Amino acid sequence: MLTNLKTIFNFAFVDFYRNKGISLAAIFVLIVTILLFTGLFFIHGISNFLILTIQNKIDITAYFKQDTLEQDILDAKNQILEISSDIKNVQYVSKQEALNEFTEKHKDSSVVLKALTDVGDNPFLPYLNITTSGNPVLYEEVSRALEQGQFGDFIEKVDFSEKKYTIEKVFSITYNINRFGLAIGVILVLVVIGVVFNTIKLVIDRSREEIGTMRIVGASNWFVRTPFIIEGAMFGFIAFIICFFIAILSVYFLSPGLASIMPGFNLFNYFISHFWLIVLIQLGSGVGLGVVFSFIAVKKYLSD
């Protein structure tokens, strides 16, 4: 058994070295494939961040009447949160907080502050600021629940109708971005997988005489197939090592520039937080494709 394993590994290494030109080509194709998978993963993370950022900027506001008790507003807040798990945040802002925010925002405008002083009493209404997953149907449901539900008598206004077009437009854009990204990703993956398979098939085709000789002397299918599976795993593992260091260097150098374009998103932190998943993607796509396609390609010579 040990002799057979030694022979199998020896054949795999000899074949790898003897066909080093085509072996390097196979490794290069796998490097491109792994980098594509890794790039798609990072693009997915960046696009999710951008979509989430956009969605968080889209909200509706429910203004309550001046004499509404704070407890009634908090009860309304709890009711909204129970409507759906897709409601991300409901922020309560009291009259005083609304006044403080307005004063801070216009602290450099003496005209605005004087006008506010002339008004006398606090003119601002308490309100709830509501953010969801971005689905316009959910925003409409929240608006209807407030205006027509048990808290309808306390509501001064819900600004959903004013923001409806914007919310629908943003939701449509983010939905189409996800669909377009998925379609492009699938097409690229299929194209690259086809290239990888044909490259590995070419490697094995170069060894067809050795395969024929092994079959003539009575070697089992397992004995014939295993060296090429090991060789495919070697291609994938070498490609993985190279891609891993490329990914680290790319993240290190791109992170500062990307942070300046997209404040709040740190590519390096994203890489660290998904470190093992990225390793799994790179190692799995490299070694996995190398092994699977070697297995499939050599099958042709075992069935002849």
> Average pLDDT in the 181-190 region?
81
241 and 268 within one domain: yes
Q: Residue 2 pLDDT more than 60? A: no
Half-sphere exposure at residue 9, Cβ-oriented, CA atoms within 13 angstroms:
5
Q: Residue 271 pLDDT more than 70? A: yes
Last residue of a domain, one of 111, 133, 155: 133
197 and 50 within one domain: yes
Q: How far is CA 133 from CA 48, 59, 89, in A?
A: 12, 10, 10
Last residue of a domain, one of 104, 133, 162: 133
185 and 103 within one domain: no
198 and 103 within one domain: no
Lowest mean pLDDT among 99-108, 134-143, 287-296: 99-108
Beta bridge partners of 64: 155
293 and 265 within one domain: yes
195: containing domain: 2-54+172-303
Q: Residue 127 pLDDT more than 70? A: yes
14 and 108 within one domain: no
Q: Residue 178 pLDDT more than 80? A: no
> Average pLDDT in the 154-180 region?
80
50 and 176 within one domain: yes
> What pLDDT score does 87 carry?
86
Whether the CB-CB separation of 11 and 170 falls below 8 Å is answered with no
Instruction: Give the phi and the psi of residue 303 in degrees, each rounded to 5.
Output: -100, -5
Of the ranges 88-92, 119-123, 275-279, which is most confident?
275-279
Residue 148 lies in a domain: no
265 and 188 within one domain: yes
248 and 190 within one domain: yes
Q: What is the CATH number of the domain that holds 121?
A: 3.30.70.3040
> What pLDDT score does 3 carry?
54
279 and 294 within one domain: yes
178 and 37 within one domain: yes
Domain count, the chain: 2
> What pLDDT score does 47 carry?
83
Residue 45's nearest CA partner among 278, 211, 201 is 278
